[in-house]
Amino acid sequence: MLRQSARGVNARGARVRTLARMIDLRSDTVTRPTEAMRAAMVGADVGDDVYADDPTVNALEERVADLFGHEAALFTVSGSLANLLAVRAVVPVGAEVLCEAQAHIVRAELGSHAALAGITTRTWRHPRGLVDVEEVAALVAPDLGPFLVRTAALSAENTHNFAGGVVQPLESLRMLRTVADRHGLAVHLDGARIWNAHVATGVPLREYGAVGDVLGVCLSKGLGAPIGSLLVGPADAVAEARVWRKRLGAGWRQAGMLAAAGLHALDHHVERLADDHAHARLLAEACAVDPGGVDTNIVVVPCPDAPAVVAAAREQGVLTGAVGPRTLRLVTHLDVDEAAARKAADVLGPLVA
Ligand SMILES: Cc1ncc(COP(=O)(O)O)c(C=O)c1O
C-alpha cells in the first residue's frame, strides 16, 4: 500500500515536471505564480477573514469594488462560487435567470444554481455568444403567480469563454440593462475575463460595472493569480453572500496570502493581457483562422479531427484542448511568451491544415 502510494506520488511528480516543459494552451488557468507574485504572497499581512480581520483580503475587496464602481466585493475561492453567490443574490428560489446557451453558468457550473440555490435557467442562442437584446426581451417571463416561472435576472458573459473569448459590445450590454430596467430585473455579469475585454476595447471597468447589479470577476485566469475570484455588488447583497459563502463551507481564514497574489496581479498583469491577445492572433493566423475574429486570448480552431490534433501536438510539446470532435481551443496567457507562441504556431499550423 505504502509502496503503491509512493509510486503514485512519483508518477504525479514526473507528470508535473513534464507539463512544466510543455507549451500549455489548454486554458489561462494553468499559469504558475511568478517569483514577484510569490514574494508578495509570502510577505502578506494576514488575519482571520471569517472575522473580516485579514487586512490584505479587505484591501483586495475594497480595491476591486472600487474598480467597478460598486459598494462592496467578496473574495471567493473560484469564479463558479462568485457566480453562484452573485446570481443567488438577485434570483430567489423558484425564479429564473436568462443567459446565452453556451454561458459558463449554465454549461459548466455543474447545475450549482439549480442544485444549491433553487434557480432555473432559460437560454437564448447566439453563434458568437452575444447578447441578442430582442430575443432576450422576448424570453422575459412576467410574474404570473402560480402559472409561470418568473424571470428575475439577465446574465451576460464578458468575455464569452466557449464562444472564443468574444467581447460583448458595451452598447449591447447597455441595451440589456435597459431591458432589465423596463421589466424590473437584475443584471448579472460573468466577468471571469472582464479584464481581457477592458484591455481589448479600452472600455473602463466602471462602464462594465455600471451595467451589472452583481458581477463575478476572476483573478486566476489571464491575471495569473493561483486562486481567487470576487463577487462585486451592493453592500447588502455582499453581506448576505458572505453568510452563504460560510454556509457552503467556503469561508477561509488567513486568505491574505492569496489576496496578495490578486493585488499583485492587478498591479502588474492587466495591461500585459494585450500581449496574450497578440499571441492569440498569431496562433489564429497559423491555423488559418481569421485573426480579425479573435477578440482576446482564446482561439477556436475548426479541424477535421480535434482529438487527433491534441494527441499529435502533445507529442511535440504543445498542449491544446478539444472542445468538440472537430473543434480545437487554444488559450494564451502569462506563461506563453512570444517565442512559445511562435513555436506552438509552427507545430499546430501543419496539424490543423
Ligand atoms: C466565463 C467563466 N466564468 C466562470 C468560470 C469559473 O471559474 P472557476 O474555474 O474559477 O470556477 C470560468 C472558468 O473557466 C469561465 O470561463
Q: Compute CA distances 112 → 134, 176, 193, 216, whole Å.
A: 28, 24, 20, 15
Tell me the CA–centroid distance for residue 326 and ligand 1, in Å.
Answer: 23
Predicted local confidence at residue 236, as pLDDT: 98
Closest ligand 1 atom to the C-alpha of 80? 11
Nearest CA to ligand 1 atom 4: 79
Considering the entire predicted model, what is its pTM? 0.95
- For 238-286, write each residue's pLDDT tens digit: 999 999 999 999 999 999 999 999 999 999 999 999 999 999 999 999 9
Predicted local confidence at residue 21, as pLDDT: 80
Pocket perturbation via mutation, ligand 1, pick of 26, 161, 196 by most ligand atoms within 8 A of CB: 161
322: phi then psi, degrees, rounded to nearest 5:
-95, 120
Predicted local confidence at residue 18, as pLDDT: 64
Residues with CB under 6 A from ligand 1: 78-80, 83, 104, 157, 161, 190, 192, 218, 220, 229
Tell me the CA–centroid distance for residue 108 and ligand 1, in Å.
Answer: 8
- Cis peptide bond N-terminal to 159, omega within 30: yes
Predicted local confidence at residue 333, as pLDDT: 98
Tell me the CA–centroid distance for residue 228 and ligand 1, in Å.
Answer: 11
Pocket perturbation via mutation, ligand 1, pick of 97, 159, 208, 218 by most ligand atoms within 8 A of CB: 218
Closest ligand 1 atom to the C-alpha of 78? 10
Predicted local confidence at residue 168, as pLDDT: 98
Tell me the CA–centroid distance for residue 168 and ligand 1, in Å.
Answer: 17
Which residues of the chain carry a pLDDT beneath 70? Answer: 1-20
Nearest CA to ligand 1 atom 5: 79
Q: Sign (positive/negative) of CA torsion 192, 167, 304, 338?
A: negative
> What are the helix (H) ranges across the chain?
2-20, 35-42, 55-67, 79-90, 104-107, 112-117, 133-139, 170-183, 194-201, 205-211, 235-247, 256-268, 273-286, 306-315, 338-352
Tell me the CA–centroid distance for residue 147 and ligand 1, in Å.
Answer: 34
Tell me the CA–centroid distance for residue 192 and ligand 1, in Å.
Answer: 6
294: phi then psi, degrees, rounded to nearest 5:
-100, 105
